[in-house]
Structure 1
Amino acid sequence: MLLLVNAILTLWVSWAHGQEITCDPPIIPNGDFAPKMNQYGLDDVITYRCGNGFYPPLIGNKTECTVLGWLPRPRCVLKPCGFPEIKHGRLLHADTSKYFPVYVGRSLLYFCDYGYMPPSQTSLAIMNCTQDGWSPVIPCLRKCSFKSLKHGYSPVTEERYVQGQSRTVMCHLGYGLQNPQNTMTCTETGWSPPPICIPVKHCDMPIFENARAVITGRPFRLNDTLDYQCLDGYENRDGSTNGSMVCGEDGWSHLPTCFKSEDKCGPPPAISNGDITSFPLEVYPPWSRVEYQCQAYYELRGPTDVICSYGKWSKPPRCIDPCVISEEIMNEKNIQLKRKDNKRYYVKTGDTVEFRCKSGRKAVTSKESFQAMCLEGTVQFPRCE
């Protein structure tokens, strides 16, 4: 506003004194203009062009001498950025065509579609116009999760990755990924290869993790033996630093797995009234899985198995006590089982048992109490007199 007032005053003073409004030749860094004159009069127009790699603004390459000087201001800027291609995402403002092309230094807000995320891992991200174009080059990255692996060792909890990240997987004996490697990568279309272990049809040179092959060669025929050696600081299941595996009808006899000593687990944790379903070992390699079962009439509560992770077992299940229905208790309450004899009877937690009064006795508790539920070893008995 102050600039406009000063211009009006200048114009009035010039008119009052009979002076003519003029403009000096413009200074345009990285550009040139025509026609060239020592002085320009009011309403004179010049055309300018920019040097290599520079461009005029969107409003054009012409400027006019006014009481405020050259308008619009002539300038040359770096190469502009065109309309950004946001695969799997969109700009925050839908109507943005009037802003393009955008020049170096400008930024735009955008967000990604469901299942994708920006490199900043925020819900709303910024795209920057640089000399090399829009940054980031890949605005929206695919999100991948890994929580189960059929015929393989699944993670303890769901794991999340983004496009470009990889994860090592371990299949059960006789199974492998679709490629001969044991690594899958999060890509724009998801995991490659998919986290699926398929039967092994032949014996290729395996990808060693924390180990190296003593000899190399492919393919391996049936009954061929491949020796491997663990890297320094690593050992295999039996504590040795080397081992061998044999190519069989279903693939290699075992995987060359080497790991740090501190990542191994001892025997799985013991639980009351239950035990593991397999023969116990003194040492278990990382990601080993052991299943539990309860004694008869005890109810298993929690996960059925535990996993060895970084030297520790995951939390084991519990075996919930059954309810014991004895003849002594029923005689004391003057009750008997409705459909069974009065011998000792076991009821699993959560199950219901029905009672009735003994002959000649009358109920003193509610009708509902004669259908009692076992809750972790405890049952509320009805009573008759």
Structure 2
Amino acid sequence: MTGASTVTCQNGTWTERPQCKDIICNVPAIPHGFVRNSKSSYKESEQLQFGCEEGYTFGERADALCTESGWHPTPYCTEILCSPPRVPNGNFRPQEDSYREGAVITIDCNPGYHLRTLSGKNTAQCTSRGWVPAPDCVEKPCDYPVIENGKISERMAHSYFPKRIGQYVDYYCRNGYLAPNGERVVRIYCSKGGWNPEPKCLKTCSVTHLENGYFRYNHDTYTEGERIQYVCNQDYRTESEGGEVTCTKNGWSPFPRCIRKSECAYNLSQFLAKKL
């Protein structure tokens, strides 16, 4: 309606009569946005569709209705921003007050946890739908343990993996190898930090007869990483410095060997022995 909403009889005539005109909504200006299939104007109850530039998203909805009071809801675009995520059992980097669309963060989960995603990546991206994937650290189950020179016991090898925290499996070491606790068969439990104790099979080295010498030993078998000394008989010397050898994956290193001293060295030792 334009003009007055009432008319009055004055001096035998009516005052200016009211007029009804179509309700018209003009095409709105949308900062960082655009109208789809735009017309020059819209009548009441007609709908307008709009989109937003990259990095922006619609406010309440992506359409608006022409009404007597104008567009409803008001069409507008807002910048896509992601708030810093909350990551229980982990943290993320870089840390900012807010993140624009496309920004990527790296998530580091605490020991025993991993990012809940099938992609295998430890990153998340800011999108119009928020962080994708959701930066959520969940308890890490224990996968089938691959043990060098050892294997899972036959009765458990075909059970379901991964194992949940608290479940266990038994493994055994091949001949010539032992677990760190000195046993061939060990039970390990799934914990927040993975398998506990860590499944390992260590090489064993035996103390055997040493030609022209002998070992200084406390037990007959040593495991990978342990050291032992050997002594050579008179007129012989140790090939390794200090006569010390280490048990390795390939056995004793260096190999314990007693080498005959040279004739000159032998004569010198005999000469010194007589002097003394």
TM-score, normalised on structure 1? 0.31
**Which has a greater percent of strand?**
2
Per the normalisation by structure 2, the TM-score is 0.42
Which structure: larger Rg?
2
